[in-house]
Each structure stands twice: as C-alpha cells, then as structure tokens.
Chains A and B, each alone.
Chain A
Amino acid sequence: MNRLFYLFTLPWVAGFAGFTAFPLGYAFWLSLTNTDALAPESRFVGAANYAEVLDDGLAGEALVRTLVFTAVTVPASVAGGLLFAVLLQLPVRGRSLYRAVLFLPAVVPPVAGALTFGALFDRDTGAVNVLLERFGVAGPGWTDGPRLPFVIGVLVLWGLGNLMMVSLAALADVPRDLFDAARVDGAGPLRTFTSVTLPLVSPVLLFQVVTGVIAGLQTYLPALVLGSAGAGGSLAALPEGGYFFMAHVYTRYAVAGRFGYASALLWALFVVTLLCAALMLRTTRRHVFTLTSPGGARP
C-alpha cells in the first residue's frame, strides 16, 4: 500500500521538487550572490541584496502600490461576485443567460483582456474617452500614467465571473430549511442575508479572499501589456502607474539581468505573501463559520 501511494504521487512530487522547491532554493542561493547576466563571475555577498531591497525606493513604492491595489480590488471583486450570485439565486427570468454573460469575460485570456482594455481606455480613440467627450469632459490619458492601476482594477472586476460561480455553488449548498426557518422567525431579506447566508458561505469567501490576495500581489501581466504598449513596447520604460512589485522584479530580471538582486526581491514578495495569508487566516478564525469539518468541501 505504501508503495502504491509513492507510485501514484511520484510525478507530482518530482514536479514539486523540480519546479517549486528547487527554483525557490535556487533563487534563495542566488539572492545571496551578485549574479548578473553581464558579469561572468558571481560571488557570495551575504545579505547585501536584502539590504538593497530595503533601500530600494522603487521597490517600496511598487510594494505599496501593489498592496493598495490588492486591498481594493480583492474585496470589491469578492463582494461583487457574491452580489451577483445572490441576485441570480432569485427566481428571475433568463437567469441562465445573465449568468453566462457575466461569466463570459472570465474566460477571455489575460493578454486579450489587457489588450481590450488598452483599446477601451485609449486616450484618443477609446470608448471611455469618446463617451466622456459627449458629456463635454476631456478624457485623460488612462494607460500611460498614474491612472493605469485604475484601468487594471476595472479589468480585474470585469473578470469576477469565476468568483460569482463559486459563490453560486456555495449558496446552492445552504440548506433550504434554514431560509424557511428564518422566514418563519420573521427575518426580512436583509436580516436573512446577514444572519444566515453570510455566515454559511463565509468559508468560501475566505478562500476567495486568500487566493485573490495571493494572485493580486503578483499582478504584473496587465501592467506589462498595457504599460509597455504606452511606452512604445519597451519594458524598461513602464509608466509610473504600471510599476507593480512583480513588474519591478520582472524588469530587474529580464531587462537588467540582475539575477541575484531580483531573486532577493522575489523572496521578499514570497515572505510578504505568506505573511498576508497567515494574517488573514489567523484573524478570521473566529469569524468564519464552519458547518462541516475542515477538509470538507474546501480544497
């Protein structure tokens, strides 16, 4: 029996060793050296790279921008997903069509989504500015400056269909008789939502928030696609608003070739991510309601 467990899980374990554990360890080793794409020799420099990370004003700014972006977009999209799920639970006509349409953008590949929003928010020809013009407002440049995070935030909200689907499934799992009991006890729709629905779906919401924050902290793709379009296709000249933490790491890695220093930045982000996840799981322990044993329906 033991043998069988190892046999079946061997591919994943090998993949974990090769593509998760090794890269992380390798990055940590690199972060202690001054490895550079241009310099032939690298040597051990101890914690010097980490000291530079703490001193790196760009990294600090990028981290704050990323944290603020995550703190705004994650709750907004989880709440939005839940709102649509609750509305689609009601017996409205055509709700399967509504559900399909709201889910559709979540399927659009990230690059295509970013390019679409690039066109939509274009300064001269984008629909947003054309409409603003009709109301007599001169639309600003959206993607070439500090407003870029706003565009990316809207892009993230556009794709909340996944979250809606998960919340819909969670709502479908709530036992019907609890709603009936709440009605018999005289609870209105709002009271039923806050006292019955919300506690029962809270584990799923927590899961969405945690995975959302992990994904949010590594936001870079729309920033690179939208930002570099504005900067004539050059990653080295990302507009200020596109400077998310991971975009900073990416430019250090791929553009500057400073593998050692960029690895230290990677590890810094890794630690920040783990701290955020641990903090969220810790602080919500008392507020998240679990009906079944943990390890039940939640992965």
Chain B
Amino acid sequence: MTHLLLFLSCALFLAPLLFLALGALESPAEQASPNLLPERPVWGNFVRAFTDADFSERLPTSLLLAGVYAALTTASSACAGYGLARFRAPGSRLVLVLLALTMMIPGVITLLPTYLLFAKLGLVGTYWPWVLWGLGGNSYIVLLFRQFFVSIPREQEESALLDGCGHLRVFWRVVLPQSRPALAASAVLTFAWAWGDWTAPLLLLDADTTTLAVALTTAYAHEPGHTADNLLAAGSLLYTLPVLALFLVAQRYLTAGAYAVRTG
C-alpha cells in the first residue's frame, strides 16, 4: 500500500521531466501534433537549441554570474555568521532581528527599487550588481552559517588564540577548514539561485549580455506568438542539467538547514 502510493507519486513527479525529454526529441512536424512519443528521436534538436539560444555566449555568462555571486555571498555570509555566533556587542541583537525581518520581505519588493538605484549608478547593463549583491551576503545563508558555527566546539579556536593568533587568522585557518559542509551547502544554494534567477537579468541586462535563464524564454520564439516547442524543451533540459548535476554531487552536504533555507 505504502509502496504503491510512493511508486505512483514518483511516476507522477517524474512525468513532467519525461514529457520534456520526449518533447526535446520531436521533429518540427511532430512538435505541432498531439503525439507523445517521437517516431524517430531528433538528437540534432539539442545542437539547434544550443546555437539558437546562443549558448556559447550565454552559458559562460550564467556560469560567471552564478559563480561570482556564489563565491562572494558565501564569503561575506560566513563572516557575518561567525560574528553573530562568537561575538557580542551593542547592536548584535538588533542585527539578528534585522536578519529575521529581512527574511520576511519578499525579495522582489526590494529588487524593483534596487533596479532604479543601479540605473542611477550607471550599473544597468553591467555585471557589477551581482558582485555587489554577493558582497552584501544573504540573510538565509548568514543564519545557516550562524547555526553551523554555534554547533561546532570552540576549543581549537581558543587554543589558537592563546598561541597568539589573531581573530581573522583563526577564522581563516581554524574555523573555515572545519566548515566544509556549510561552505558547500552555501555555495550550491547560492549558485542555484543565481543560475535560476530570471527577473534580475531581465531587468538589468540586455539581449547581448543576459543569462541563459532569460535567453531561454525569448530565443525560441521564431515568430511572434509561435515558439519552437521541441527546441524550447531541449534548451530547458540543457539549462537544467548543470544544476541537477551540482545537487547530485553535493547531496551529502545538504543538511536539513540547507533545505529549510531553500524553501524561502
């Protein structure tokens, strides 16, 4: 009974992806007809999807933006998480409250005015916004790191301090090497966010500088109102696979905290 329910659910959850994969292999004639199985798989669709959406330009852009954003967000959020986990100062409670409050604010609410800010600074059409966003860290990731640092013992840090190590050195040399799981979780999540982000590149970048996510939604509309569905499916798969692979590789680092973070 349990087996049957789980099996049926899994089939249902896999069906959309299966349909996508089948659609990606349909010939132009088949994609406009209501059949589900392609007669003869057209593997060339993947090549055409790659060239039509200009993957050779858009893929490096997506990799660059997601990579830069992930690296910087992880670094700055780890710093803030460490500060919150280990030090007290006037205002440290306020910082915690602000962190929690930030999580209550839908991200897109701040995105639109931030767009106007970047426009004033002349940063529209450049990749600087991703650098700045990365440097500013992310509240969810800060809390992820704080929880992690609170849970690891302090003895090593204290003995390193007694040996005359500075706090920054201790953080770099003693704390971070023990924090691989949190670092990996943060890197994977933030990379996936930036990779999946559609609105920010849509607002800030133009067709020649944008990311895969945006290119995907525009590239296959060969005539207005008519989209090459087989290429769209092939392109969507090509765009999805890197993140799937990333999660598969990093699976063992993604603890409950990391999943909780992603629901936001």
Contacts and interface: CB of A to CB of B under 8 A. Distances in A.
A26 B113 CA distance: 7
B177 to A, nearest CB: 17
B263 A162 contact: yes
B109 A266 contact: yes
Interface in B198-231: 198-199, 203, 213, 216-218, 221, 224-225, 227, 229
Interface in A1-32: 1-2, 4-9, 11-16, 18-20, 22-24, 26-27, 30
Interface string B130-152: 00110111011011100100000
B136 A165 contact: no
Given A119-B20, A277-B104, A127 B216 contact: no
Contacts of B14: 101, 104
A166 B16 contact: no
A119 B233 contact: yes
Interface stretch (A53-61, A178-186, A213-221, A283-291): A213-221
B256 A6 contact: no
Given A4-B83, A107-B192, A221-B199, A98 B6 contact: yes
Nearest to A91: B2
Contacts of B236: 112, 115-116
Contacts of A107: 192, 243-244, 247
A293 interface: no
Q: Categorize the interface residue count of chain B.
A: 35 or more
A116 B113 contact: no
A220 B136 contact: no
Contact of A20 (B83, B110, B262): B110
Contact of B256 (A112, A116, A170, A253): A170
B192 to A, nearest CB: 7
B79 A8 contact: yes
A207 B256 CA distance: 13
B19 A120 contact: yes
Nearest to B188: A107
A102 B104 contact: no
A175 B195 CA distance: 39
B158 to A, nearest CB: 14
Nearest to B33: A125
B235 to A, nearest CB: 9
Given A2-B89, A16-B98, A109 B116 contact: no
Contacts of A72: none
18 contacts: A8-B82, A9-B83, A16-B98, A20-B110, A24-B109, A27-B109, A98-B10, A102-B13, A116-B20, A119-B233, A124-B32, A129-B34, A130-B35, A158-B13, A215-B106, A246-B108, A262-B112, A269-B106
Interchain residue pairs A-B with the least CB separation, the first 8: A15-B136, A8-B83, A169-B256, A232-B225, A109-B196, A218-B106, A12-B80, A23-B113
